[in-house]
Amino acid sequence: MTTSVPTSETNERRFRRTSDVEVQQGLGALARITRMCIQYPWRAGLAFTATLAAVVAQLAIPVILGRAVDMTQASEGDVFEAGPLVAVALMLLGASVLRGLFTLVQNYTAESLGHALAHDLRNMIYDKIQRLPFSFHDQTHSGDLITVGMLDLEGVRMYFSTALVRTFFLILLIGIGAWLLLSTNVVLAFLALSFVPFAAWRSTVMRLILRRTWLILQEKLGVLSQVMEENLAGIRVVRAFAARDYEMAKFERASKTALELSHQRINVRVTNTSIMTLAFFTAMGLVLLYGGRQVAAGEITVGTLATFLTFMTILQMPVRQLGMMVNAYARASTCGARLFQLIDMQEEISDAPGARDLEITEGTLRLENVGFSYQGAGRHALSGISLEAKRGEAIGIVGPPGSGKTTLMHLIPRFYDVTEGAILIDGQDIRDVTLSSVRQAVAVVQQDSFLFTTTIENNIAYSTPFVEDARIRNVAESAQLHDYVLGLPSQYHTIVGERGVSLSGGQRQRLSIARTLMMEPSVLILDDSTAAIDAGTESRIRAAMRDYAKQRVTLIVAHRLASLMHADQILFVDDGKVVERGTHDELLALGGRYKALHDLQMRPDADVLDEMAGVQ
């Protein structure tokens, strides 16, 4: 049996306090991204090989130009040999074409690898989000997850092409070029390369600043995503309360903060790039001054000086892009740290080693002294809950709001793991069997009837996409939805709006019931699933589901006693404990909390309210 690992609070703390973790784990994130890039050996190898070939072709250009200049200087009088210059021109053209082709291959393969890496990471993130427990989603805003899945993923995607390949290119360009220049003229070579250490220093400073500001910007963009997501989700509330100006002002504040920080980052990048460019042209001026004197003294040729100057001109663009390269490292380390934090989070709810699928025989559900506490909560949400239900039996759960009814229902499909006791189906502890088999055996019609933006047919057949149309109509009839659907222009092919907003609350609940009936589970949980349905429709749903319920255990959570008074056993839950238990008639005869609630719903007058106060 697996033990419940107290990870949700740790996961939440790790996910939200990202700044400290990213600073400590930035290098580790870069190393991990690099290892993932190497998992595409052909693309990575081709990109680096093409980069080497492009550098060789590019370095050949200054050498060819230098020789061309010397050839023109060697011509005497009016006698001019065009043949050698034509050959040099063709060589120069060939080197330029080769450089362009190899650069094209480099860019294509590097971008291709980046997108393949993003594809893998995107699936890893989505898979992790699907498997993280409810406790994580209870405490984490969806805007934060969207920021990781979009902005952070993009920062990691660009790492190979804008950081690794560009670094390799610059090292080769400076290394091979320095060797060629030093072998020609040591002093002139040092002057030509004198700006490189300064540029490296400024790049390091810029990297630290950009890294820090990117961390802050990520947090601001996360806030911006939260504001936008909440506004879109609650657009009807905003309109109903005429709060457009307030929402616009709130969004403007968040957007302005992110904009100011973006401007700050741009200023840092532009300022440092300008300083590095100034250093480059200063070095070029020194080369012209010193090299011109050596040409005048006859120590070097004009072609040699042209070679140095051309090499520096070629080097100018990579130096100007050095800031972009450094920014790519900073962004990838920050984004990678946040992204891998999410991917590496431990899962509270997972399969035990060697877990087997749940085997349904009698279909008996048993709860043995079940207790549960939320992480960080000071008290038990549930304590000492026991019950047994056999196939065909219905168990009603009733109690005041916050008494633990929904929490209890979430323990049975293992949305959370019990902290005390055990839940067994046909004698098998649900923690010892595979999670997927438990979720197939236990279906929950939840209070929040979430629907997908697709057709009614696809929403109903969500668990079994390739089911026959006749079965879809059968479950829709059981949920009292079929007649309504037939009245729609496109009937079952009608598109449901985002979150089902085009349907009424009762229609959404009936569609949700139909979707759950499609699963044919062994345990069916109706968690206040008919609250938005009128009493007449609810009665017809119960009648239609009577044969369906004979084949499974049914748990009914409701505030309206008419929804569960037919149950074989009713539990009155308060403060996480069962305070009354029995059939409808037995509980009425008991004269306790259940009877008081029954009387209140049947004849809500002041006398009944007084009676309820007396049994509290």
Whole-model pTM: value is 0.65
- For residues 590 and 533, membership in a common domain is answered with no
- For residues 325 and 415, membership in a common domain is answered with no
| Structural domain includes residue 2 | no
In three-state secondary structure terms, 424 is strand
List the beta bridge partners of residue 523. 442, 553
Residue that is last in its domain, among 311, 343, 375: 343
Token readout for 26 is 């930035």
- For residues 303 and 270, membership in a common domain is answered with yes
| Structural domain includes residue 447 | yes
Neighbouring CB atoms inside 10 A of 607's CB total 10
Nearest-angstrom CA–CA distance, 48 and 38: 11
Token readout for 376 is 């960080």
- Closest among 35, 299, 29 to 148, alpha carbons compared: 29
**DSSP label at residue 561:** G
| Structural domain includes residue 164 | yes
Place of tokens 């540029």: 199
- Cα angle 442, 448, 449 (rounded to 5 degrees) comes to 80
- For residues 540 and 594, membership in a common domain is answered with no
In three-state secondary structure terms, 459 is helix
- For residues 288 and 393, membership in a common domain is answered with no
- For residues 455 and 369, membership in a common domain is answered with yes
Please give, one letter per residue, the 3-state secondary structure of 568-614: CEEEEEECCEEEEEECHHHHHHHCCHHHHHHHHHHCCCHHHHHHHHH
| Structural domain includes residue 5 | no
Q: What pLDDT is recorded for position 8? A: 43
Q: What pLDDT is recorded for position 460? A: 80
**Local mean pLDDT, 10-residue blocks, the chain (616 residues):** 42 46 64 86 90 88 80 58 74 87 90 88 81 67 67 81 86 84 85 80 74 72 72 70 74 77 79 80 86 83 84 76 74 79 74 80 85 75 85 85 83 84 86 84 77 79 77 79 78 69 68 78 77 63 70 81 81 85 85 81 57 50
| Structural domain includes residue 272 | yes
Place of tokens 């035990």: 352
Q: What pLDDT is recorded for position 542? A: 67
- Closest among 175, 197, 184, 181 to 52, alpha carbons compared: 175
**DSSP label at residue 413:** T
**Which structural domain range is residue 419 located in?**
365-582
Q: What pLDDT is recorded for position 101? A: 93
Instruction: List CB contacts of 221: < 8 A, sequence separation 6 or more.
Output: 147, 151, 258
CATH code, domain carrying 20: 1.20.1560.10
- For residues 578 and 604, membership in a common domain is answered with no
| Structural domain includes residue 354 | no
Number of domains in the chain: 3
Place of tokens 């059981």: 478
Place of tokens 């306090």: 17
- For residues 92 and 130, membership in a common domain is answered with yes
- For residues 181 and 227, membership in a common domain is answered with yes
Q: What pLDDT is recorded for position 270? A: 80
- For residues 557 and 600, membership in a common domain is answered with no
- For residues 318 and 421, membership in a common domain is answered with no
Q: What pLDDT is recorded for position 570? A: 87
Nearest-angstrom CA–CA distance, 449 and 9: 28
Report the number of secondary-structure helices (H) and strands (E) in the chain: 26, 10
Backbone angles phi, psi at 523, to 5 degrees: -125, 120
CATH code, domain carrying 492: 3.40.50.300
Token readout for 96 is 């330029």
Radius of gyration of the chain (CA): 35
- For residues 177 and 264, membership in a common domain is answered with yes
| Structural domain includes residue 355 | no
| Structural domain includes residue 269 | yes
CB 450 within 8 A of CB 459: no
Q: What pLDDT is recorded for position 200? A: 73
Place of tokens 């200023």: 267
Q: Is 331 exposed, middle or buried (0-12, 13-18, 19+ CB in 10 A)?
A: buried
In three-state secondary structure terms, 370 is strand
How far from 294 is each of 279, 291, 302, CA to CA, in Å? 23, 5, 9
Q: What pLDDT is recorded for position 223? A: 72
Nearest-angstrom CA–CA distance, 393 and 390: 6
